[in-house]
């Protein structure tokens, strides 16, 4: 499977596989489903948009002519029927002859209509734009934890690997993918700040979340022993999550960061590095032919990463199941209004599950002049908040209306179903 590659190069100090595995976004863009030259429509209506428009015009003219000819059967077929294949300069690709209605036949009483199918969560969510199979973009290569999160969120989906998180966003924005899976926090490593900045920079909506137990393994080429290792490579988050365990194993190794965990395993296999080990999943060992030197090397067995799913359009919030809403806000007067904002949720008994502050990129420093003291410099912050309520609830709407009075900037990142699956340590991810 080919993957998507960013338009810019990564830092040269980061180790990268020598085997090219990803292509440029522009190669995918030319295959966008919204091409006007060769769009395929369902039921064989036509091979292009012009054919489809022509078919609609022909069908409308035939309905009109049939209604006129039903009262006078002596009239021969009109010339417009023979010229129907040349409307707008395009020929139709299907037979548009209508089935004649016998008006002399007695009307039969209508049969009992079939019972309507009840709406499901699929009916309320944006449908995939590439057929029945969902296309989900994730950062990394096959075997990454993000790929496992995509499979948990959308079973039987087509996973699209991307070199960077930025490319996963672009894949959805350019209609290359229907969804993107993005890790935002880990129970050991904390928040992934880079991805919070991307949520604000792009206009995608959070439509779901997945909490994935992370099970790290120490991988190396077959036949390599731990005593021969001189370095361990992996994603920075994985290295921090296994720091104490690596020390307990008595390994005298250097730790180097790469793009992702599975990419580290691929790099070792591609370059036949017998002095290097990778921290990755058991699936990565299977995919790239590596052996597992140590299993479950994360410092805490309760190692869980939270992923969010992103889409171009938001889903319809509901009240029949637990929902979570994510917002981001800022204020011109700094952090002095934070208490008022939090009170808007506390007075309505709305529980906050997360609050994260990030420096305001456009205005990082705020100057406060005091005639007696001088000029004080304060950092400006953006605040990310998750709370347990659906935007369909009146209390959530009233809370945000009050928050908007105290803030200069407020944006709802998404209102989406909470992941309520029971947690259990994963042995095969």
Told to judge if 329 belongs to the known catalytic residues of this protein, a careful annotator would answer no
Helix 193-201 to helix 165-173 angle (10° resolution) is 20
Q: Which residues 6+ apart lie within 8 Å of 394 measured at CB? A: none
CB-based contact 159:151 (threshold 8 Å): yes
From the candidates 305, 383, 387, 407, give the one annotated as an active-site residue. Answer: 305
Q: Which residues 6+ apart lie within 8 Å of 216 measured at CB? A: 238, 241, 242, 261, 279, 280, 281, 296, 297, 298, 303
Told to judge if 307 belongs to the known catalytic residues of this protein, a careful annotator would answer yes
CB-based contact 256:268 (threshold 8 Å): no
* Alpha-carbon distance values, 135 to 156, 175, 179, 221 (Å): 10, 10, 6, 32
* Alpha-carbon distance values, 200 to 26, 173, 204, 305, 412 (Å): 24, 14, 9, 20, 10
Q: Which residues 6+ apart lie within 8 Å of 108 measured at CB? A: none
Distance in angstroms (rounded) separating the CA atoms of residues 269 and 283: 14
Report the C-alpha dihedral over residues 210, 216, 220, 225, rounded to 10 degrees.
-170
**CB neighbours of residue 357 within 10 Å:** 15
From the candidates 307, 323, 329, 345, give the one annotated as an active-site residue. Answer: 307
Q: List, by residue number, the catalytic residues.
A: 305, 307
């Amino acid at each position: 499977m080919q993957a998507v590659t960013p338009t810019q190069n990564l830092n040269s100090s980061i180790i990268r596989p020598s085997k090219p595995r990803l292509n440029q976004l522009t190669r995918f863009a030319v295959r966008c489903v919204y091409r006007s030259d060769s769009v395929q429509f369902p039921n064989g209506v036509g091979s292009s948009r012009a054919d489809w428009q022509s078919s609609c015009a022909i069908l409308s003219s035939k309905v009109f002519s049939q209604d006129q000819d039903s009262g006078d059967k002596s009239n021969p077929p009109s010339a417009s029927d023979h010229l129907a294949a040349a409307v707008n300069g395009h020929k139709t690709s299907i037979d548009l002859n209508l089935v004649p209605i016998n008006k002399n036949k007695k009307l039969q009483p209508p049969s009992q209509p079939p019972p309507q199918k009840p709406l499901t969560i699929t009916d309320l969510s944006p449908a995939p734009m590439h057929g029945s199979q969902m296309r989900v973009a994730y950062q990394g290569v096959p075997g990454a934890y993000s790929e496992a999160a995509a499979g948990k969120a959308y079973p039987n989906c087509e996973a699209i690997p991307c070199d960077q998180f930025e490319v996963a966003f672009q894949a959805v924005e350019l209609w290359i993918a229907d969804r993107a899976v993005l890790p935002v926090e880990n129970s050991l490593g904390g928040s992934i700040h880079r991805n919070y900045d991307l949520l604000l920079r792009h206009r995608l909506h959070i439509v779901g979340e997945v909490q994935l137990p992370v099970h790290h393994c120490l991988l190396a080429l077959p036949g390599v022993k731990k005593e021969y290792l001189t370095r361990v490579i992996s994603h920075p988050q994985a290295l921090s999550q296994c720091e104490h365990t690596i020390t307990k194993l008595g390994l005298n190794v250097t730790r180097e960061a790469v793009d992702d965990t599975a990419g580290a395993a691929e790099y070792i296999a591609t370059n036949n590095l017998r002095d290097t080990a990778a921290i990755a999943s058991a699936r990565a060992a299977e995919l790239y032919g590596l052996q597992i030197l140590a299993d479950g090397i994360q410092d805490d067995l309760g190692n869980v990463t939270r992923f969010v799913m992103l889409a171009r359009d938001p889903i319809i919030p509901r009240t029949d199941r637990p929902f979570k809403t994510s917002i981001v806000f800022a204020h011109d007067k700094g952090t002095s209004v934070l208490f008022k904002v939090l009170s808007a949720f506390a007075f309505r008994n709305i529980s906050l599950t997360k609050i994260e502050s990030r420096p305001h990129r456009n205005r990082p420093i705020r100057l406060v002049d005091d005639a007696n003291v001088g000029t004080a410099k304060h950092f400006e912050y953006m605040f990310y908040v998750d709370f347990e309520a659906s935007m369909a609830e009146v209390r959530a709407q009233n809370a945000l209306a009050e928050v908007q009075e105290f803030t200069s900037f407020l944006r709802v990142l998404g209102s989406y179903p909470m992941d309520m699956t029971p947690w259990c340590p994963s042995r095969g991810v």
